[in-house]
Amino acid sequence: MSAVVTSTPEPAGLIAALDIGGTKIAGALVDRQGTVLHRVQRLTPAQEPGEAVLLTIHQVLGRLSAVPRWQQVRALGIGCAGPVDIARGTVSPVNIPGWRDFPLVARVAADPAVAGLPVVLGGDGVAMAAGERWRGAARDAVSALCLVVSTGVGAGLVLDGAVHPGPSGNAGHLGHLSVDLDGEPCPCGSRGCLEMLASGTAIARQALRSGWQPAARGGAADAAAVAESARQGDSLALAAYDRAARALAAGIAATATLLDLRLAVVGGGVAQAGELLLAPLRRHLHTYAALPYVHPVEVRRTGLGPDAGLIGAAALTVS
């Protein structure tokens, strides 16, 4: 047994992470290997005033900072639904209307538990890219597009071996790239945005419009319920997933063609449907990623599991 240490020791201490989305707000303590040690989660009061959303974050931080190992925390990473402005430390998530140019970094830094810690903000898509690059499915990739398909659709880029947030922190914000010129108006102000076709919300909306009926027993009409019907062979539910996959394929192909990418990593709640989403996505990529240098674009599932958002938020502080 050799006692020679050949690798550089990692910095000590834990990282606190906040993953803020339109449906839930999660917080965690994460170690330097990217393992989530403690996690806390609350529903996002997304339709309430901005201060109510902030109160939920203080509650999450209150629970986390009550854990004795909080004393080992050396930094806080925040992955937030976009758009964000990392230069100013503000956020304006499309799905949280009470937050417009909301000074999230300053307000979180003022929490007594956080005082003195460095706080790093990133868009949720950029955070996911940081996490996949750090400990996930893009670990060996020079370049990749990493997507969060959830209540909305976010994405981030790894380019030439590094996460590329762009000056404002929104680079790769694929959800608001239009893939349908005459499509439905989007809350962002554009129309036909990828998010309007491929988010979990859009999948459920499309299924209901086509006449799909939720399973009688539960009655939930969300993307997970559509997935359950699709697994049982319901053609309307399958069509809703296929439409979402097709929109994602168009967006991934456009990005891959633009930036010369070979890899897309897909995570987020909707991606938990697994092959139900990924199989049609790969099939449609054969159509849309037509040029030889992007054909085929490889599609991988997130390597970080359901905690990808938290691990990504933590990764923002180490990249």
Closest to Zn ion by CB, 188 or 316: 188
Angle at 194 between CA 211 and CA 283, to 5 degrees: 80
Give the nearest distance from C-beta 109 to Zn ion in angstroms. Answer: 30
Work out whether 97 is an interface residue with Zn ion (CB under 5 A).
no
Give the nearest distance from C-beta 184 to Zn ion in angstroms. Answer: 10
Work out whether 168 is an interface residue with Zn ion (CB under 5 A).
no
Closest to Zn ion by CB, 175 or 312: 175
Work out whether 81 is an interface residue with Zn ion (CB under 5 A).
no
Work out whether 176 is an interface residue with Zn ion (CB under 5 A).
yes
- Give the separation between CA 276 and CA 225, rounded to whole angstroms: 13
Closest to Zn ion by CB, 193 or 313: 193
Return the range that interacts with Zn ion (CB under 5 A); candidates 118-126, 149-157, 171-179, 229-237: 171-179
Give the nearest distance from C-beta 196 to Zn ion in angstroms. Answer: 7
Work out whether 192 is an interface residue with Zn ion (CB under 5 A).
no
Closest to Zn ion by CB, 201 or 229: 201
Return the range that interacts with Zn ion (CB under 5 A); candidates 57-65, 140-148, 169-177, 246-254: 169-177
Closest to Zn ion by CB, 178 or 272: 178
Angle at 112 between CA 111 and CA 116, to 5 degrees: 90
Closest to Zn ion by CB, 84 or 227: 84
- Give the separation between CA 203 and CA 310, rounded to whole angstroms: 25
Closest to Zn ion by CB, 176 or 301: 176
- Give the separation between CA 111 and CA 175, rounded to whole angstroms: 31
Work out whether 190 is an interface residue with Zn ion (CB under 5 A).
yes
Return the range that interacts with Zn ion (CB under 5 A); candidates 15-23, 155-163, 190-198, 200-208: 190-198
Residues 6 or more apart whose CB falls under 8 angstroms from that of 243 comprise: 197, 203, 206
Give the nearest distance from C-beta 1 to Zn ion in angstroms. Answer: 57
- Give the separation between CA 147 and CA 128, rounded to whole angstroms: 7
Number of residues that bind Zn ion (CB under 5 A): 5
Return the range that interacts with Zn ion (CB under 5 A); candidates 66-74, 134-142, 163-171, 181-189: 181-189
Nearest to 173 by CA among 85, 252, 83, 240: 83
C-alpha neighbours within 13 Å on the C-beta side of residue 289: 31
- Give the separation between CA 30 and CA 37, rounded to whole angstroms: 6
Distance spanning both ends of the chain, measured CA to CA: 33
CA distances from 223 to 46, 131, 283, 291 (A): 19, 25, 21, 32
Q: Are 302 and 315 in contact (CB under 8 A)?
A: no
DSSP 25-88: EEEEEE-TTS-EEEEEEEE--TTS-HHHHHHHHHHHHHHHHTSGGGGGEEEEEEEESS-EETTT
Closest to Zn ion by CB, 114 or 174: 174
Work out whether 188 is an interface residue with Zn ion (CB under 5 A).
yes
Work out whether 266 is an interface residue with Zn ion (CB under 5 A).
no
Q: Which of 157, 193, 202, 313 binds Zn ion (CB under 5 A)?
A: 193
**Structural tokens at position 128:** 């996911």
Return the range that interacts with Zn ion (CB under 5 A); candidates 43-51, 111-119, 147-155, 172-180: 172-180
Closest to Zn ion by CB, 180 or 234: 180
- Give the separation between CA 102 and CA 78, rounded to whole angstroms: 14
**Which residues of this chain interact with Zn ion, rule CB under 5 A?**
176, 186, 188, 190, 193
